[in-house]
Amino acid sequence: MAPSKFRQAIGAVKDKTSIGLAKVASNNSLSDLDVAIVKATRHEELPPDERYIREILSMTAYSRAFVNACINTIARRLNKTKNWVVALKTLMLVQRLLAEGDPAYEQEIFFATRRGTRLLNMSDFRDTSGKSYAWDYSAFVRTYALYLDEQLEFRMQGRRGKRVVMVIHRWRRKRVVEAAPAQRPGRPLLCMK
């Protein structure tokens, strides 16, 4: 077997093992969520399967506990992987959850990141496949994670009523957080008769 075929086989075995462990480790509904996350972020160099993303979105639509379990599983998946495909698919899943999922995702990811869970901090991520393009993909994964982190912080600042101003000075970027301008009280609507 060529090294790439060997690595693909190892990735497939890892996915099967993760799915098996997810089915055994937790209760039935949480194991379904874990299995869907692993299947959406497999080692295959294909886009995440839409069916599993929809399944994750539907399972976490009404329960904050499921949202929390989903974030914990995603964080565990990102922490363990040294494969750029899995990391990229997981970050794509995070972006979809932020865009289309329950609003609790924003808060859970923000608070998980701030309390020390290495969710969107991929600054030390490095693909260990040994291929010539691994460095480029690793850099892209780190940049994409940074983009998601800044997007999340911007959205959370907006919810708290602060305005984030990006000041660009030559080669440095500086973030300035200001209080939002005071809103003028609105005039009551006149009774229409």
pLDDT over 60 at 81, yes or no: yes
Where is 17: in which H helix or E strand? helix 3-25
51 pLDDT band, cuts 50/70/90, is: very high
pLDDT over 50 at 115, yes or no: yes
Q: What is the pLDDT of residue 191?
A: 46
Q: Write the DSSP assignment of 73-101 as a string of letters.
A: HHHHHHHH---HHHHHHHHHHHHHHHHHS
Of 23-27, 65-69, 76-80, 112-116, minimum mean pLDDT range? 23-27
The CB density around residue 46, as the number of other CB atoms within 10 Å, is: 9
Q: What is the pLDDT of residue 2?
A: 45
Segment 57-79 shows an average pLDDT of 91
Q: What is the pLDDT of residue 57?
A: 94
The model carries a pTM of 0.72
Count of helices and strands (H, E) across the chain:
7, 2
Q: What is the pLDDT of residue 141?
A: 96
Separation of alpha carbons 35 and 116, rounded Å: 25
pLDDT over 90 at 23, yes or no: no
Segment 85-107 shows an average pLDDT of 92
Segment 47-64 shows an average pLDDT of 91
Separation of alpha carbons 106 and 98, rounded Å: 6
Kindly report, residue by residue over 138-153, the tens digit of the pLDDT: 999 999 999 999 998 8
Exposed (0-12), middle (13-18) or buried (19+): which is 21, by Cβ within 10 Å? Answer: middle
Q: What is the pLDDT of residue 168?
A: 53
User: What CATH number is given for 3-161 in this structure?
Assistant: 1.25.40.90
